[in-house]
């Protein structure tokens, strides 16, 4: 059993996993992760220079057998309950940036909301907000 990590690291694990789950980490997704870390209040106090090492640690964990389940366990154990919706929101943010969500990304979102026991209304609101932010003509 892997030890808990900081809430900053857990949120970064969620975003990196979302980006990597379809085996294509795009520049847009990586930029979105950096932007989220630099702008969201939940990341106050996080040393941005630690972003790459934290992302690499997540990537290493993804490469082991049952790594995805382990990441979900770590995230659920490391985040306070009040940040569960935030975790889902940052995952959706990374998924939405490409304006196309792959099946693997949808599956990860489902796994995340199940592991964090998020209610359907909150999930729908988070997803709808992301759709509105990334809408194009």
pLDDT digits (tens, 9 = 90+) for 89-114: 999 999 988 777 878 989 999 999 99
Q: Which residue has the tokens 């907000």?
A: 129
Is the pTM value of this prediction over 0.85?
yes
Tokens at residue 119, please? 């209610």
pLDDT digits (tens, 9 = 90+) for 5-30: 999 999 999 999 999 988 888 888 89
The domain ranges of the chain are 7-133
| CA 84 vs CA 7, 77, 79, 102: distances in Å | 10, 11, 7, 22
Fold of 7-133: TerB-like (1.10.3680)
Burial 37-52 (b: 16+ CB within 10 A, else e): beeeebbeebeeeebe
């Amino acid at each position: 059993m892997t030890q808990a990590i900081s809430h900053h690291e857990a949120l970064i694990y969620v975003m990196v996993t979302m980006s990597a789950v379809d085996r294509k980490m795009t520049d847009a997704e990586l930029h979105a992760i950096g932007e989220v870390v630099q702008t969201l209040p939940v990341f106050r106090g996080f040393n941005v220079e630690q972003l790459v090492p934290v992302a690499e640690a997540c990537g290493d964990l993804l490469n082991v057998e049952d790594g995805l389940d382990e990441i979900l366990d770590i995230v659920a154990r490391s985040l306070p309950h009040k940040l569960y919706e935030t975790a889902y929101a940052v995952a959706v943010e990374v998924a939405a940036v490409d304006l196309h969500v792959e099946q693997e990304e949808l599956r990860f979102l489902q796994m995340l909301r199940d592991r964090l026991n998020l209610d359907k209304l909150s999930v729908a609101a988070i997803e709808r907000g992301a759709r509105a932010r990334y809408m194009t003509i």
